[in-house]
Amino acid sequence: MPNDSLQVNLNTKGTLQNSFDAIVIGSGISGGWAAKELCEHGLKTLVLERGRNVEHIKDYPTATKAPWEFKYRRQVSRAYEEANPLISKAAGFGDDTAHFFIKDADHPYVQEKPFDWIRGYQVGGKSLTWGRACQRWSPFEFTSPERLGYGMNWPIGYEDVAPWYSHVERFIGVCGNKDGIEAMPDGEFLPPFDLNCVESHIQKTIAQNYKSRYLVHARWAHLTQPKDIHLQQGRGKCQARNLCMRGCPFGGYFSTNSSTLPWAQKTGNLTVRPFSVVHSIIYDEQKNKAVGVRVIDANSHQATDYFSRIIFVNASALNSNLVLLNSTSHRFPNGLGNDSGVLGKYVCFHNYRAAVNAPMPGFEDKYYYGRNPTEPIIANYRNLHKQDTDYVGGFTTFMGAYRGQVSDDDCPETIGAQYKDAMSEPGHWHTYMYMQGETIPRAENHVRLHADQKDQWGIPLLVTSVGYDDNHEKMIKDFLAQSAEMLEKAGCKNIEQYDNKQAPGLDIHEMGGCRMGKDLKTSMLNEWNQLHHCKNVFVTDGACMTSTGNQSPSILYMALTARAANHAVEELKKGNL
C-alpha cells in the first residue's frame, strides 16, 4: 500500500493514552469552531496543529510597535523577500506580520499551473491574519450553479445554514447594517463603522442611477459594541488601530486564538497538540470506519497514532485534500472516501484580478475622524434571478475612499520647508473598487499527490493544477466597465482600470476538492459534511465547497462546522457513529 513505504517509529504506549472522543485536524478558523462546539457538548477533543503554539496577546510580538521600531519600516529585507518570493506576495505580509506566515522553503509544493498557495501554519492558522469580511451567502449562491447550468446544486440551501450563521455571528461579533438586500442577507449585527463623506456620496449616486445596486456598510468581524458574550471571552471593543494582522491584544476582531480556542479550553475538554503534522487518517477495514489519525512530530519526525470516535478535517481546503488523498487503505486506495474519484477535483478560488481607482474632486473641505478597519461593499448585482450577462456567476465589490498624502501635483519638492508644509496638509481624496468574483468549479482544476517528491515529514508534495478560463475574462471586463461607470456617475475623472493578472491562490480563498452533494458519484460529502463512505469523518473547511459564491467564505465554513459538529454530537448520542 502507498503508506507502507513510510518509515515510522510507532509510539505504542497503548491506545488508551492517545484516545479521545473527537480529533480535529487543524486549529484555524474552522478547526477552532469544531473544537468549541465539540468541547461544549462534553466531548474530550484533541486538536492537532502542525505549527507552533500562538497564545493570545503573549505571542503578538509586533502588536504595539510603532513604524520606526521596524528596521525597514514594516518591509522585510531584500534577502528575506528573495528567499520567500511566494509568501511575500500575500496581502498584508510585512516585517510586522511575517511570523504568522510560512517560509517558502519549508513547505514546497508543485505548481503545474501558476498557483500562489498562501499559508499560515500555527495555532490559529489564518484566523490571525484574515481580512475579517463576513457577508452571508444569499439563496442565489446556493442555487445559481445548477439553475443557470454551470455547476451542481448544494445538498443544502440558505435556510439550512441561516440559524448557524446567526449562531456564529452572535459569538464572533460581526458589525454591519440591516440593509434588506436579497443578494446579501442580513445577520445579527453589531453597529457598523460609518461611511465617510465620499463613500456616502457614492452610495447616493449609485442609488440614484441604478435600480438594483446597493452600496452598504461593511459586514466585518469587529467588536464595535461588545456584548456580554464577547466580554466573557475576554475580548474588548475594536480600537480601530488598523493593525489587525499583527494579532489584536484587545481581541477587537475575531480570531481563533482570542475566541473559540480559549472558550473550548475553559470546558476542560480540550487538548491542543502543536507541532503535530497530520500524515493521514487511519481506516479500520473491520469496523468500516476511521479510528484515528497518524501524526508526524514536526520537530522529532517521530510518528504517533491518536484515536477517536469522530474526526473533523479542518486543515484548510488544500491541506484537507492532501490529508484525505494521503489516507489510503485496501478499501480506499485512492484516498479516504474516494470511491467516486472526485477527491481533489473541482478546486476553485475567487477572482480578485480587477480594480478601478480615481481621484474624487469636490470634497477638499471635508475630512474623517479616526481609522476604519473595514470597507463598504457593493452587493452583487449580476446574474441573480436569471443570467443577464455573457458570463455566469456574480461578484462582490469592495470599495473605499480616503484622503491621500501629499502628491507631486501639490509639491514637486521631496525635501525642504515647502515639502514639510505640504506634508502637514491632507492630500486629495481618492476612491477605489475591487472585485471578488465567483469562479466555476471545473473537474480539470484539481490537486493531486506528487508521485515521488515528499516533504521533510515524508508526506507527498501537493501538485496544484488550477487556472483561469474565459468566464473570468468576461467577468473582469464587465466589472471594470461597470465600476468605472459608477465612479464616473459619482463625478470622478481620470479613472484607472487595471487587471493585475495575479495567479489563482493569491486571493487566499481556495475551495473545493471534497465537495458536498447529493449524488455519491459526483460528490464526496453529504448534507452534514460527512464523507459519504466514511461517516465518522467530517470535512467542514473550504474543501467542502460545492461552488464558490461571491461572498467572503470563512463565515460559511464556521457556520457549516458548527452545524456539522452539533449533528455529530446527536449522531453519537444515537449510537450512529
Q: Which cell numbers hold the place of 67?
A: 513604524
Does residue number 277 form part of the binding site for ligand FAD (CB under 6 A)?
Answer: yes
Distances (CA, A) of 332 to 50, 87, 454: 25, 34, 21
> Which of the residues 45 through 64 are near ligand FAD (CB under 6 A)?
48-51
Q: Which of 20, 109, 115, 121 binds ligand FAD (CB under 6 A)?
A: 121
Nearest CA-CA partner of 335 in 513, 482, 504: 513
Q: What is the 3-state secondary structure (H, E, C) of 267-304?
A: CCCEEEECCEEEEEEEEECCCCEEEEEEEEECCCCCEE
Output the DSSP codes for 382-397: SSSSS--SSS-S-EEE
471 and 82 Cβ atoms separated by less than 8 Å: no
Closest approach of Cβ 521 to ligand FAD, in Å? 26
Contacts with ligand FAD, 504-543, as mask; x by CB under 6 A: ----xx-------------------------------xx-
Does residue number 483 form part of the binding site for ligand FAD (CB under 6 A)?
Answer: no
- Looking at residue 159, the DSSP 8-state letter turns out to be H
**Helix or strand or coil: residue 318?**
helix
- Residue count (the chain): 577
Closest approach of Cβ 103 to ligand FAD, in Å? 13
Does residue number 203 form part of the binding site for ligand FAD (CB under 6 A)?
Answer: no
C-alpha to C-alpha distance for 10 and 304, rounded to whole angstroms: 6
Q: Which of 554, 559, 565, 569 binds ligand FAD (CB under 6 A)?
A: 554
Contacts with ligand FAD, 304-343, as mask; x by CB under 6 A: ----------xxx--x---x--------------------
Helical H runs in 424-511? 470-489
Does residue number 126 form part of the binding site for ligand FAD (CB under 6 A)?
Answer: yes
Distances (CA, A) of 8 to 50, 164, 372, 455: 17, 41, 51, 15
250 and 236 Cβ atoms separated by less than 8 Å: yes
Please give the size of the binding site for ligand FAD, defined by CB under 6 A: 42
Contacts with ligand FAD, 234-253, as mask; x by CB under 6 A: --------------------
> Which of the residues 170 through 199 are near ligand FAD (CB under 6 A)?
none
* Closer of 258 and 276 to ligand FAD (Cβ): 276
Closest approach of Cβ 24 to ligand FAD, in Å? 9
Contacts with ligand FAD, 129-168, as mask; x by CB under 6 A: xxxxx-----------------------------------
Q: Stretches 10-18, 154-162, 276-284, 303-311: which one binds ligand FAD (CB under 6 A)?
A: 276-284
Strands (E), 428-528: 429-437, 446-454, 460-465, 496-499, 511-513
* Closer of 7 and 424 to ligand FAD (Cβ): 7
> Which of the residues 76 through 105 are near ligand FAD (CB under 6 A)?
90-92
Does residue number 29 form part of the binding site for ligand FAD (CB under 6 A)?
Answer: yes
Please report how many Cα atoms fall inside a 13 Å half-sphere around the Cα of residue 505, on the Cβ side: 21
Burial (0-12, 13-18, 19+ Cβ within 10 Å), 417:
exposed
- Residues of the shown chain interacting with ligand FAD in the complex, contacts defined by CB under 6 A: 25-31, 48-51, 90-92, 118, 120-122, 125-127, 129-133, 276-278, 314-316, 319, 323, 508-509, 541-542, 552-554, 557
